[in-house]
Amino acid sequence: MRRIFLFACLAACCALQSFAQQKENLLAPTPPMGWNSWNIFQTNINEPLLKEMVDAYVSSGMRDAGYTYFVLDDGWMGMERDQNGQLIADPKKFPNGMKEFADYVHSKGMKFGIYNCAGTKTCAGYPGTHGHEYEDARLYASWGVDYLKFDWCNAEGIEAKEAYKTMSLALKATGRPIVFSLCEWGSNRPWYWAAQDGQLWRTTGDIGPYFNKAEKNKDGWRPLSVLDILDRQDSIRQYAGPGHWNDPDMLEVGNGMKFNEDKAHFSLWCMLAAPLMAGNNLEKMSPETTGILTNKDAIAIDQDPLGVGAFRYYQFDGIEIWVRPLANGDIAVCFLNRSDRTQTVTYDWAAHLINDKVSKMDIDFNQTTYKLKDIWSKQDLGTTKKLFKQVIPSNDVIVLRLIK
């Protein structure tokens, strides 16, 4: 009897330890943070330009604010594989090859990411990975790649789950930890199946630098706006968590929206527990843009270890309240004014209960009082005992950390 008891204790202990280890071993325990070349440069990338971006990543304070990955998107390759079937970096754009560039990124204390596609060609027409998964994975590992974004163009007749599984296994077979970012635009509902394969999956088509209504680009194609994407996140929040994230696409902060729109976009992505991939010209960014991207309190919400994204708690007349439970019992609350006019928001904390099925949070402000910290103005706005009354301009937010 005693022996059985001892054995049971040992088994329970091992299970607990392996759970803790698993958590520790996650490649992305919090949403990945980095920079990606696509939103600002598309395929117009080359070694000198990108080295400038690497340098600016450090000098602007992005690295020290927690951004880690430096990711080359589409356009880094030559138009054909070499005679051995290997991918090559475009020799004009990268005269010193990709290994040298990866070494440069690593020497500055960042991790290196690269892009390819599950189809026969990438979206911009460069060689895709279909049928070359294992050799491409080995090549990336030999260059020191730490992150792979894997797209979904030119994939007619290919089964998404199978294609992403194959690439995931190929990456794992290299023995190098490589974050796998699935980019099939939510077409096959990856939130149901991709957590086994990778660390993040795109939930929608491509973002553009628009807050409310996106304009068509020069090819007559209309990207999604920040609000278009926001509206598709609430219903899938329960599928994300530590190690596996919904990816509402890369940031457009610093790419032409107004200051308040950039600030609202960044705030909402932090509320959603989204990967934070900056997509602007780091060398030319304004102090306002740097201030948004490196706001410590916003990043702390994004990176909160509980990993539960926000839900839309309230919606009326263009005002929304998004609520995100945090690991230490604090709560992040974002008041969004998506209407076209300035509005005064009045909110009586004590008059409403807040419950969340996903995190099992149950808040009654008559029972617990929180202090309110405005994460943008840095002001202390009193407590939840007092009526909250603030003016919010159109397309702007107030984000509070409710401190227990």
Q: What is the dihedral of CA 100, 173, 180, 37, to 10 degrees?
A: 20
Query: Between residues 94 and 370, which has the closer beta carbon with respect to ligand GLA?
Result: 94
Determine the interface stretch with ligand GLA among 96-104, 119-127, 340-348, 389-397 (rule: CB under 6 A).
119-127
Task: Kindly state the smallest distance separating residue 239's Cβ from ligand GLA, in Å.
Answer: 20
| 151 classed as catalytic | yes
Structure tokens at 81: 């594989």
For 320, how many CA atoms within 13 A lie in the half-sphere containing its CB?
A: 19
When asked if residue 38 is in the footprint of ligand GLA (CB under 6 A), the reply is: yes
Determine the interface stretch with ligand GLA among 11-19, 84-92, 122-130, 154-162 (rule: CB under 6 A).
122-130
When asked if residue 123 is in the footprint of ligand GLA (CB under 6 A), the reply is: yes
Amino acid 116 reads: N
Alpha helices by DSSP H, 88-178: 97-107, 133-143, 160-173
Task: Kindly state the smallest distance separating residue 252's Cβ from ligand GLA, in Å.
Answer: 12
Please choose, from the candidates 402, 229, 263, the residue with its C-alpha nearest in 3D space to the C-alpha of residue 336.
263
Task: Kindly state the smallest distance separating residue 335's Cβ from ligand GLA, in Å.
Answer: 30
Query: Between residues 229 and 372, which has the closer beta carbon with respect to ligand GLA?
Result: 229
Dist CA 159 CA 283 (whole Å):
40
Element holding 346 (H helix, E strand): strand 343-347
> Among 90, 146, 206, 252, which residue interacts with ligand GLA (rule: CB under 6 A)?
206
Q: How many CB atoms lie within 10 A of CB 233?
A: 24
Backbone angles phi, psi at 286, to 5 degrees: -75, 160
Give the CA angle between residues 154, 158, 159 to the nearest 5°: 135
> Among 151, 197, 261, 262, which residue interacts with ligand GLA (rule: CB under 6 A)?
151
Contact status, residue 372 vs residue 382, Cβ threshold 8 Å:
yes
Contact status, residue 26 vs residue 242, Cβ threshold 8 Å:
yes
Query: Between residues 47 and 206, which has the closer beta carbon with respect to ligand GLA?
Result: 206
When asked if residue 146 is in the footprint of ligand GLA (CB under 6 A), the reply is: no
| 206 classed as catalytic | yes
* Residue among 74, 90, 206, 262 flagged as catalytic: 206
> Among 77, 118, 182, 183, which residue interacts with ligand GLA (rule: CB under 6 A)?
183
Task: Kindly state the smallest distance separating residue 268's Cβ from ligand GLA, in Å.
Answer: 19
Task: Kindly state the smallest distance separating residue 221's Cβ from ligand GLA, in Å.
Answer: 10
Give the CA angle between residues 31, 32, 33 to the nearest 5°: 115
Dist CA 152 CA 128 (whole Å):
10
> Among 30, 67, 71, 74, which residue interacts with ligand GLA (rule: CB under 6 A)?
74
When asked if residue 214 is in the footprint of ligand GLA (CB under 6 A), the reply is: no
Task: Kindly state the smallest distance separating residue 43's Cβ from ligand GLA, in Å.
Answer: 7
Residues that bind ligand GLA (CB under 6 A): 38, 73-74, 122-124, 151, 183, 206
